[in-house]
Amino acid sequence: MMYLKYIISIFLIISTLITFNGCVQIKYSTSGASIPAGAKTFSVQLFENNAPIINPSLSQSLTDELRNKLESQTSLKSISGYGDLDYQGFIIGYDVKPVAIQGDDVAAKNRLTITLKVKFTNALDTKYEFDKTFSRYEDFDGSQDLKEAEGNLVPLIIEKLVQDIFNESVVNW
């Protein structure tokens, strides 16, 4: 009798899970992205640079990297205007601060931090939309000046920021 109740309970749980699983349609990709069924396009608006310190190539580089990530790791097509998934934002911070001071008040290490304000719109499933701030940094030797260091650091920071935005918007685990 106890064994029969156990089997019936397991059967009910499995059939409930199967039923609910059939109600939600999400496409999964090898990158871990979960795209809402019916989504075919995305758009990335140019990230305007409103930071106090301006890196002239940052805005376009960031926009291009996000677009490239979405094209290479999803089946979505990039369009101008507004896609099923739309990304827009601003660069609100581009800061350098000392993080390790030597005995003679000279920085042994400096930190370059880039901060973005991103608005993500999902025309097919609004529960995944967000308006959020993302920030990433890289440290560099105090003997280097910013112009010397940013050529290597900015691409690394952009890569991390783009991964964060990608994860937040289409990796809904």
Using alpha carbons, select from 102, 89, 104, 18 the residue that is nearest to residue 58: 89
Least confident of 22-26, 68-72, 85-89: 22-26
* Dihedrals phi, psi of 21, to nearest 5 degrees: -65, -35
- Length of the chain equals 173
Three-class secondary structure of residue 118 per DSSP = strand
Q: How is 137-159 classified by DSSP, letter by letter?
A: EEEEETTS-HHHHHHHHHHHHHH
Nearest alpha carbon to residue 136 among 88, 171, 168, 102: 168
* Domains within the chain, CATH numbers bracketed: 39-170 (3.30.160.150)
More confident of the two residues 76 and 22: 76
What is the reported pLDDT for 108?
85
Q: What percent of the chain has pLDDT over 90?
A: 64
In this predicted model, what pLDDT tens digit does every residue of 98-137 receive, in sequence order? 887 766 666 789 999 999 999 999 999 898 899 999 999 9
144: Cβ contacts below 8 Å, ≥ 6 apart:
110
Least confident of 2-11, 25-34, 111-120, 129-138: 25-34
